């Protein structure tokens, strides 16, 4: 067919169809011609003008690798029907770039190379005019374009049939068959559409497969992450699944347990089978069972029934953990971990060295320990150090202050309670401190304040190594090291009837006495610098030392609150210090008063009676003279602060003002004296 180029742009597309003798009922052909004319495409093109090669083509093929791999079996199947008939089968991406081709050698020799019908060629309307590949991608429907229905003469000898390939609602490519127009058959369109649908089904199945794999991976990962054992059992009592934790808890081989009756997997009566009898599950219920060796196994279990669409029980999911795992569950909640070691104990005095030596001996023993000492001497520090030096250091350290818990709650705190034991009891119950400390150490601080009725219960636990939760029936074996502490003289409390003698002798196997700070004053200086460094780090300060005068006041102070009071004193001083050295004015007033009053009493006595070395006679100094000197000295020490001076002199502010007026004592003179000093 010959077309004069002068007529192309002078007529409408419909007129051009009529002039060329093209009769078609295909609207998509007309729309394709209109697009080609609008783009200014020459109908005389004889070859595809765009072809991707090298790295660019490789990127396109990698991007469409899944489409190619899933389509290839269907391309081969379709080609097997048209092989030897000069037909070719083609796969393109969503941009009409050819991804895969299958055809006879004669096609290659006659046309493929001539018109650039090869892998990587871009067969869109811009480069080859309308054809079935790009038209089906644009229209979203299967199409067949034959002979002069093509806009460009390079395709006038061919019939092309194509159908889009979708992934869900998105068109991702097209499958097509190309042959001579004389071999045009309506059956070809049916084969192409069927092939496209088969590819889409394969894509959907692959997507479903991937989703199932991901779902399975997520479920497996979730099961592996849980800290409890998990097992599924069918209605016949056959184990269908078990996770690694479950196999470890039950001490069985995971793979060998699958598809076996649960009664053949464990050597005790599996309580999970009772669920099938009662047809009722449960959440967080405790069970104590015995294996064939007579060893008690304590479990916390949940059973979830699996039902079919008719409501029939078809299986059970069994979630279980041993009591040790329960300990770990609550370990972080109690926030009781031993963090101190013997190296954290500051002091080189003989008294503290003796205490440390005895504590180290206790750490190698399993005997009960009683730590005695005043408040603030570091009893818990010693208890934690003993635990961390013992063979229980990798197990819990649980601390409880017996004086801080109301008497009506202390039993549930120590021994726990079962579900429904009392109004407000947690669902599933709650373990006590002895359960949480199983395998480790429990530290009973202020044991002297424990109520008498609880002392009897504690004595029973010490003797039998067993506990029973409040409201529960199960007897739980425990292996817990007990360290007690008190600031009371327990033997005296026994004589007064406040503490049981039998419990005292049971606890007082290894007795460690911690001396008060006033009896180990040689350790104070070392403690001072330790606390200064600690507070520097805590407050981001740079205190480098403490004045000699301040140290003297600190050492002379009695420290009724012991090391705890000293630490608080240094924390206050570091807060108030405005330089790099702590001075007297940074110390608490009670520390300064103690020293001042002591000096005032001593100085008053020394000045009242002085020995005249020349005459050997006693020289009496007037009370008025002494009073003037002591008032001036007190004002000097207190930096002229009237309130503090009156306080240490044990007089009122008005009395002090009257005496200053009487003796003509001026604050300005006092400040000058202080600055000079």
279: helix, coil or strand? Answer: coil
Q: Is 129 exposed, middle or buried (0-12, 13-18, 19+ CB in 10 A)?
A: buried
Look at residue 672 and tell me whether its pLDDT is greater than 50. Answer: no
pLDDT at 21: 60
The CATH number for 634's domain is 1.10.10
522 with 511, same domain: the answer is no
552 with 497, same domain: the answer is no
Read off the pLDDT band of 334 (50, 70, 90).
very low
Domain presence at residue 495:
yes
572 with 473, same domain: the answer is no
Query: Residue 39 and residue 125: Cα distance in Å, rounded?
Result: 9
Query: Residue 106 and residue 86: Cα distance in Å, rounded?
Result: 7
pLDDT at 245: 86
23 with 120, same domain: the answer is yes
The CATH number for 201's domain is 3.30.450.40
355 with 467, same domain: the answer is yes
Q: What is the mean pLDDT of residues 167-186?
A: 84
Tens digit of each residue's pLDDT (9 = 90 or more) over 274-319: 888 888 887 767 677 776 666 667 777 888 888 887 878 888 888 8
Residue 186 lies in domain: 5-207
Query: Residue 597 and residue 625: Cα distance in Å, rounded?
Result: 18
Q: Provide the 8-state DSSP code for 310.
A: T
Look at residue 612 and tell me whether its pLDDT is greater than 80. Answer: no
Domain presence at residue 559:
yes
Strand 609-611, strand 581-582: pairing = unpaired
Strand 170-180, strand 475-477: pairing = unpaired
Q: Supply the pTM of this predicted model.
A: 0.47
Domain presence at residue 221:
no
511 with 540, same domain: the answer is no
**Weakest-pLDDT range from 105-114, 250-259, 404-413, 617-626:** 105-114
129 with 113, same domain: the answer is yes
Q: Supply 206's token pair.
A: 């692959």
**Weakest-pLDDT range from 140-144, 351-355, 403-407, 616-620:** 616-620
Domain presence at residue 73:
yes
Q: Provide the 8-state DSSP code for 121.
A: B
pLDDT at 121: 92
Q: Shortest CA distance to 61 belongs to which of 39, 37, 92?
A: 92
Mean pLDDT of the chain: 83
Q: HSE of 186 in the Cβ direction (CA atoms, 13 Å)?
A: 0
The CATH number for 546's domain is 1.10.8.60
Q: Supply 426's token pair.
A: 């947690």
Q: Supply 624's token pair.
A: 């008025």
CB 166 within 8 A of CB 34: no
Query: Residue 592 and residue 450: Cα distance in Å, rounded?
Result: 38
* Domain end (from 481, 515, 549): 515
Look at residue 141 and tell me whether its pLDDT is greater than 80. Answer: yes
Look at residue 116 and tell me whether its pLDDT is greater than 90. Answer: no
Q: What is the mean pLDDT of residues 379-389?
A: 94
Domain presence at residue 218:
no
Q: How many domains does the chain have?
A: 5
CB 440 within 8 A of CB 380: no
Angle subtended by helix axes 350-363 and 379-388, to nearest 10: 40
Q: What is the mean pLDDT of residues 52-63?
A: 93
Please indicate whether residue 240 or residue 336 has the higher confidence score (pLDDT). 240
Read off the pLDDT band of 360 (50, 70, 90).
very high
470: helix, coil or strand? Answer: strand
Q: What is the mean pLDDT of residues 348-374?
A: 93
pLDDT at 611: 44
Domain presence at residue 605:
yes
Query: Residue 519 and residue 351: Cα distance in Å, rounded?
Result: 8
Domain presence at residue 564:
yes
262: helix, coil or strand? Answer: helix
409 with 366, same domain: the answer is yes
* Domain end (from 551, 567, 587): 587
Please state the length of the chain.
Answer: 677
CB 521 within 8 A of CB 557: no
Q: Shortest CA distance to 45 belongs to which of 134, 155, 148?
A: 155
* Domain end (from 307, 330, 353): 330
197 with 235, same domain: the answer is no
Read off the pLDDT band of 618 (50, 70, 90).
low
600 with 669, same domain: the answer is yes
**Weakest-pLDDT range from 321-325, 402-406, 455-459, 475-479:** 321-325
278 with 349, same domain: the answer is no
Q: If you write DSSP's letter for every residue of 228-286 in order, what string do you get?
A: SEEEEEETTSBEEEE-HHHHHHHT--HHHHTTSBHHHHSSS--TTHHHHHHT--EEEEE
Q: Shortest CA distance to 542 belongs to which of 577, 588, 585?
A: 577
């Amino acid at each position: 067919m010959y077309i004069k180029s002068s007529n192309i742009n002078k007529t409408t597309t419909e007129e051009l169809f009529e002039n060329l003798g093209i009769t078609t009922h295909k609207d998509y052909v007309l729309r394709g011609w209109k697009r080609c004319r609008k783009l200014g495409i020459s109908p005389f093109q004889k070859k595809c003008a765009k072809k991707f090669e090298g790295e660019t083509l490789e990127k396109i093929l990698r991007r469409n690798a899944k489409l190619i791999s899933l389509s290839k079996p269907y391309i081969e199947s379709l080609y097997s029907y048209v092989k030897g008939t000069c037909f070719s089968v083609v796969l393109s991406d969503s941009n009409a770039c050819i991804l895969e081709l299958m055809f006879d050698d004669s096609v290659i020799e006659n046309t493929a190379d001539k018109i650039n019908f090869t892998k990587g060629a871009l067969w869109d309307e811009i480069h080859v005019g309308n054809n079935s590949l790009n038209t089906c991608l644009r229209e979203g429907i299967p199409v067949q374009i034959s002979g002069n229905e093509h806009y460009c003469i390079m395709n006038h000898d061919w019939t092309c049939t194509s159908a889009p390939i979708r992934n869900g609602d998105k068109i991702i490519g097209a499958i097509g068959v190309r042959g001579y127009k004389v071999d045009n058959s309506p059956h070809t369109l049916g084969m192409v559409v069927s092939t496209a649908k088969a590819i889409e089904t394969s894509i959907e199945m692959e997507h479903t497969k991937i989703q199932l794999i991901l779902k399975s991976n997520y479920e497996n990962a979730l099961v592996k992450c849980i800290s409890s054992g998990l097992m599924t059992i069918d209605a016949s009592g056959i184990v269908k699944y078990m996770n690694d934790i479950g196999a470890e808890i039950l001490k069985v081989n995971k793979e060998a347990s699958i598809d076996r009756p649960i009664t053949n997997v464990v050597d005790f009566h599996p309580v999970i089978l009772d669920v099938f009898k009662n047809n009722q599950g449960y959440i967080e219920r405790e069970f104590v069972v015995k294996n064939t060796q007579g060893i008690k196994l304590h479990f916390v279990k949940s059973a979830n029934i699996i039902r079919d669409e008719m409501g029939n029980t078809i299986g059970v999911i069994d979630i279980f953990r041993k009591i040790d795992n329960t300990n770990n569950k609550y370990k972080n909640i109690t926030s009781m971990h031993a963090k101190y070691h013997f190296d954290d104990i500051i002091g080189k005095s003989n008294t503290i060295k003796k205490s440390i030596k005895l504590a180290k001996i206790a750490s190698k023993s399993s005997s009960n320990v009683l730590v005695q000492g005043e408040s603030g001497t570091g009893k818990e520090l010693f208890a934690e150090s003993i635990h961390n030096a013992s063979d229980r250091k990798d197990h819990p350290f649980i601390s409880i202050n017996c004086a801080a818990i109301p008497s009506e709650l202390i039993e549930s705190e120590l021994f726990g309670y079962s579900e429904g034991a009392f109004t407000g009891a947690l669902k599933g119950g709650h373990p006590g401190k002895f359960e949480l400390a199983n395998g480790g150490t429990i530290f009973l601080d202020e044991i002297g304040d424990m109520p008498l009725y609880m002392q009897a219960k504690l004595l029973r636990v010490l003797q039998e190594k067993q506990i029973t939760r409040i409201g529960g029936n199960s007897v739980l074996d425990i292996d817990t090291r007990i360290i007690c502490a008190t600031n009371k003289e327990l033997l005296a409390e026994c004589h007064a009837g406040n503490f049981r003698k039998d419990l005292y002798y049971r606890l007082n196997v290894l007795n460690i006495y911690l001396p008060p700070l006033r009896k180990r004053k040689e350790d104070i200086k070392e403690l001072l610098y330790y606390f200064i460094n600690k507070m520097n780090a805590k407050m981001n300060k740079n205190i480098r030392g403490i004045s000699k005068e301040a140290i003297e006041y600190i050492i002379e102070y009695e420290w009724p609150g012991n090391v705890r009071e000293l630490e608080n004193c240094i924390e206050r001083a570091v807060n108030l210090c405005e330089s790099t050295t702590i001075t007297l004015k940074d110390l608490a007033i009670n520390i300064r008063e103690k020293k001042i009053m002591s000096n005032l009493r001593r100085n008053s006595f020394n000045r009242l009676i002085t020995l005249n070395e020349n005459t050997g006679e006693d020289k009496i100094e007037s009370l008025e003279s002494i009073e003037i000197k002591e008032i001036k000295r007190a004002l000097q020490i207190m930096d002229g602060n009237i309130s503090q001076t009156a306080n240490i002199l044990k007089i009122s502010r008005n009395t002090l003002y009257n005496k200053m007026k009487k003796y003509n004592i001026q604050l300005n003179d006092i400040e000058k004296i202080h600055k000079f000093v």
